[in-house]
Amino acid sequence: MITKNLKLIFLGTPDFAVPFLQALIDNKMRPVLVVSQPDEPVGRKQELKSPPVKVLAQKFSIPLSQPNTKAGLLKILKENQPDVCVLVAYGKIINEEALKIPKFGFVNVHPSLLPKYRGPSPVQTAILNGDKITGATIMLIDQKIDHGPILSQEKIEILPTDNNQTLHNRIAKISAGLLVESLTKYLKGGLEPKPQDDSKATFTKVIQRSDGQVDWSKSAEQINHQFRAFYPWPGIFSHWGRKRLKIADLSVLEGDFSLPAESRREKAGPNLKPGEVFLGQNNSLAVRCGQGAIRLERVQLEGKKEMSGEEFLRGYKNIIGQDLASSV
């Protein structure tokens, strides 16, 4: 296969897919067609917004299609008869009939080191579990989710400051070049797909808004992982009384918060319980966890605007000594 004559179709939708489409364009592997999900209504006025991949395709005047059914996608593939399809975060499962159309199959990018973290939330799960390393896998799609043979992989460090958004962005930036390199070698017969070891497979789930609920019996580090994993969506929250308290930013406090107040600088009192609010250093808003404590840097009480912990304390001093609940 000579790549300059390649009949390639790219399927992708969100921001994560954009660097991969751009890399293909930059490396003379321009798709003959880009396929993306339909425009979606957003905001109060429900105005239609184009997916990021569509915007990039239009910028480079690449033909675009946005089928809203599997039958519509199948028709497009049959009409175009691509040599290969590249799929990155397209958002829909490809059925068996469609998978058989391209001579070289569907090449996919998955943001984990498969077979670890198959499924829809590999980046969030890696952060949630406190992993130090994740990566990207270039693979061929088969009928099972994230099960197909592997073409190549690249390890990527998870930084202590990484959240779901920043790590997604870095994986995309780093692995876009890996896609081009791997695809070129594969099409020229220089890269042999290797089956995954199913015995080592782990699976992730669809993230729900309720997953952002904080369990204060967990350690401060675990709650920090939860905050980073679910930023910017769904975010994390607790309850004060009957109102939801969104935690917009936090930091982990150092020290042993089981000690009496006179043994440390915090004005929290002895025998703090998980979920109990106390006054931290420099009059900060803090909460005891199962192990350690966190400082609430920014919060938003249901029905109110977002504010700093210090601003919140000025308006709600009676929160000190009270318990935050995981549910009401």
Q: Which residues are annotated as a binding site for (6S)-5,6,7,8-tetrahydrofolate?
A: 112-115
**Cβ–Cβ < 8 Å for 299, 246:** yes
User: Could you tell me which residues are annotated as the binding site?
Assistant: 112-115
Q: Strand pairing partners for 154?
A: 136
The whole-angstrom separation of Cα 72 and Cα 59 is: 24
Tokens linked to 211: 């997953």
**Cβ–Cβ < 8 Å for 16, 168:** yes
